Structure 1
């Protein structure tokens, strides 16, 4: 069972990093990108295209893919989402736009790249890492370390720096933030760029384990969004914890009761959290004064 816990925690680190992207954009713009999984797929295919550049080291290829996808994320916000951002978050047309973008992106990837799984020739470790008491594939161990490091870095950026303060100011009152010189559009683009870049890195490392294929999106979107809800959509630290918990629960229940149960238990947990503690397990309750 320890093997399943370690594998679940490793994959959960990927879910956590993507969940953190949801929390980051939600706390900054009151919106989320439901094409996040497809953004990760684009990053993986960009990395696959860079695999043939022999003179470029693997970390540089990964960084290049992340930068390209970060630009894609910033453009998605500026062109498709920003027109529907309101200070109270009541205009939900951004949700329809991002869902439509997800469907379009999947269709384009399938038609242009085919549906087969392709191996990634870099950023991949073969074999199993033995810890004495349990074993975990080396690629998943690499995935866990990188995703966890990126997740902690993003959380610290958001909660401990001036940039994070400006993002929070934009979320709380866009007009007042503008009066003191904070550009809400720029903060939104930056939050989407950071979230997209992180997703690209995580998805690329994951495809080093499962292969690169167009239908990555749904496999990543649902667990990551569930992790964000469980941890708390306004808490980057909570999203990090929620994603890891989801990954562990998914693996354990799949081991005990089958793959279907593994996929269902997380969604049941989401429903329970929404009913009992809508703000999430790790987010502080926010009181609104009228």
Structure 2
């Protein structure tokens, strides 16, 4: 029972991180229709900024997370203004090429500053929590709890606030939203800021149990795209559910099948589910 519980905990941990990354990615795609492959670089930069603030500057873990989220949010907004906004009337392929170029540029900058070595962010909590005969590392519980709070908070923001409603309205009909006075510029900037902040928070939460290195965003962004395709392009509930599905599939697949194949399980699962539901799990929100 304890072994099974550990796999459930691992699945929830991975699913929480994947869902946070996929949420930012699906926001940008659902509203601006930009396949932002640079999102993996935002994830990577967020981890490095937290590592620098907590390690070199000696700041608290939570302070490092806030600084990282703010810095990556600003970086995401600058990239929207300088790179993606000028390409708004160009073919979609241009956005993809620009995003990949930004990804490679940010990786080169990070490698020039910190090198290609592996790093690890010290865990803020190293205690082991015990529930009857079950044990759980506090860091994994922290990841799951923080991710749930962020997901609920994002849903409340989008559904219950005026600013969030402008984002939803723009996602539903960009031209109609502009006609009623909603600024596409502000919505674009806010969307990229939220996307970057979510990536940085996910990276900071994950960094204590995962290595930090320049190419760490590659596999994460590929799985995030798998998740948003699986859940339904542009669907926020789909991103959350899809992240959890991939997290549990990887956790149980690595334990019961082989750890060597855990990274391809997401792609095999994508092929299987899309063969049954080509529209994804939540097609109703997809445009």
Normalising by structure 2, we get a TM-score of 0.89
Shift of 1:157: 1.8
Contact 2:11–2:249 (8 Å) recurs in 1:
yes
Look up the SS of the partner of 1:284 in the other structure: helix
Asked if 1:72 corresponds to 2:66, the answer is no
Look up the SS of the partner of 2:92 in the other structure: coil
Relative to structure 1, the CA distance from residue 265 to residue 57 in structure 2 (aligned partners, 3 Å threshold; closer, same or farther) is: closer
Shift of 1:274: 3.5
Shift of 1:285: 6.7
Distance 2:161 2:219 in 1: 33
Contact 1:129–1:135 (8 Å) recurs in 2:
yes
Normalising by structure 1, we get a TM-score of 0.88
Distance 2:148 2:216 in 1: 20
Contact 1:11–1:140 (8 Å) recurs in 2:
no
Distance 1:234 1:133 in 2: 41
Task: Name 1:112's counterpart in structure 2.
Answer: 113
Deviation by residue 1:91-125 (Cα, 9 ceiling, x = unmatched): 3311111122112222332232122222324x622
How many residue pairs match? The answer is 283
Deviation by residue 1:219-260 (Cα, 9 ceiling, x = unmatched): 321222222222222221221111011101011111111123
Relative to structure 1, the CA distance from residue 25 to residue 116 in structure 2 (aligned partners, 3 Å threshold; closer, same or farther) is: same
Alignment of 1:1-290 (within 5 A): 1-51=4-54, 52-54=56-58, 56-86=59-89, 91-121=92-122, 124-132=124-132, 134-284=134-284
Contact 1:10–1:140 (8 Å) recurs in 2:
yes
Contact 2:31–2:234 (8 Å) recurs in 1:
no
Contact 1:22–1:233 (8 Å) recurs in 2:
no
Contact 1:16–1:228 (8 Å) recurs in 2:
no
5+ residue gaps in structure 1?
A: none
Look up the SS of the partner of 1:214 in the other structure: coil
Shift of 1:190: 0.7
Distance 1:188 1:279 in 2: 26
CA-atom RMSD in angstroms: 2.2
Deviation by residue 1:191-218 (Cα, 9 ceiling, x = unmatched): 1110110110110121122243222202
Deviation by residue 1:15-46 (Cα, 9 ceiling, x = unmatched): 00111111111121111321112111111211
Shift of 1:140: 1.7
Look up the SS of the partner of 2:101 in the other structure: helix
Distance 2:227 2:175 in 1: 31
Relative to structure 1, the CA distance from residue 19 to residue 158 in structure 2 (aligned partners, 3 Å threshold; closer, same or farther) is: same
